[in-house]
Amino acid sequence: MTRADFDPSRPETWPFVLTFAECCQILRISTRTGYTLRQRHRFLVPELTPPVAGAPRYHRDDVFQALKSRSGQASALERRKALHGVR
């Protein structure tokens, strides 16, 4: 399977180790939002250690776990408020 076969909506196409951009696609957030969340230590998926070629990588099982924990816990408005620090 090549990276060209990657489809965020089909978990069977996900490689075991995902790039940051792939992880954001699966979570259905922009990479800009992902970087903001990482900077604020609020990105739901833990990074693999050490980074590959200086770039963070993520295990697909951790992405599944993040999706499970995120589903139904907060409304879109609550997530936006948490992201932007609005009270």
Domain CATH for 25? 1.10.10
Which positions ≥6 away from 15 have C-beta within 8 Å?
A: 1, 3, 6, 22, 60
24 in any annotated domain: yes
pTM score of the predicted model: 0.72
**Per-residue pLDDT of the chain in tens (87 residues, 90 and over written 9):** 456 789 998 888 999 999 999 999 999 999 999 999 999 999 989 999 888 788 899 999 999 888 887 665 555 555 566 666 655
Residue 14: other Cβ atoms inside 10 A:
20
77 in any annotated domain: yes
The tokens describing 66, both together, are: 């993040």
Number of domains forming the structure of the chain: 1
28 in any annotated domain: yes
Q: Residue 47 is part of which domain span? A: 10-84
45 in any annotated domain: yes
Rounded Cα–Cα distance for residues 41 and 50 (Å)? 17
Q: Distances in Å between the alpha carbon of 73 and those of 23, 69, 70?
A: 20, 7, 6
52 in any annotated domain: yes
